[in-house]
Amino acid sequence: MAGAVDLSALKSRAEANARAAAQPAASGDGGAAPTTAAVVDVTEADFQAQVVEKSLQVPVVVDLWATWCGPCKQLSPVLERLAQEAGGAWVLAKVDVDANPRIAQLFQVQSVPMVIAIAGGQPVDAFTGALPEPQIRQWIDQLLNALRDQLPGIRAAEQARGGQAEEPEDPRFTAAEDALERGDYAAAEAAYQQILDAEPNNEQAKAGLAQVKFTARAEQADPSAIERADAAPDDIDAQLAAADAEVAAGKVEAGFDRLVRTVKRTSGDERDRVRRHLVEMFEVFPEGDERVNNARRALASALF
């Protein structure tokens, strides 16, 4: 984003305003941190106050959206909820690009949704499209970690809501993750399975187990399995191996489609085996992945 947007003039005025506003607080009212709305609707008229000036204290995440944009309707509620959870450590500024074309022009918006992080009056990071919530959380965490020492409002907000104290790590998951990191898939699988034996509905453990199983298979995936499977459509083992090879090579839709077609051709225990293999694959991908959603619908159609 460096050099893409010049907010320096607005930033200079905002810094002067911030210094002026800070003087009375320093002289008499105990220095209490001002409260800031977590989510604000921004227009061209109040862009400086709502975005530039606030970004001198905390990051301001600008959500550029439009009423006709389908992905915007998925992304905006997630951003709003995360901003409320943050308790003022960052601010979400929502901008309707159709109603505020000069802001869209300022950020050189070519498609929406577009999300831009502003800190110290300048863009520091951005992404486009409706990312899954886990990726958005990770993006925001990285943003706060990078800016915590530069923007005083982050730490003040975190301290106001109880500091940065995190829940202690679950040693069971730590053991599983350590095993996965060192490539000991058998130990990682056993660790996740042990969690599930005690807590059958633990979604984190389910996802971890699926990831381990697929990673172990993907490392052994043979690209030639695809050709063998195409030549023997009734060979279940060949179809499963080929689907693993396709997904490992990034051909996710092809791997899913292969297993859906195999479900249609099979019955009984064989069908159930293929179905379980495919459902396990779904667990590897983030919630909301459109490829998974499409494959789930195709699988339901094949089964019923």
Cite the active site residues.
69, 72
Phi, psi dihedral angles at 65 (to 5 degrees)? -135, 175
Reading the block at residue 25, the tokens are 């607080």
d(CA 189, CA 111): 42
Reading the block at residue 44, the tokens are 């061209």
In the chain, count H helices and then E strands: 14, 5
d(CA 65, CA 63): 6
Query: Are β-strands 39-41 and 60-65 bridged in parallel, bridged antiparallel, or unpaired?
Result: unpaired
Per DSSP, 38 falls in state S
CA nearest to 258, candidates 276, 283, 282, 241: 241
d(CA 60, CA 57): 9
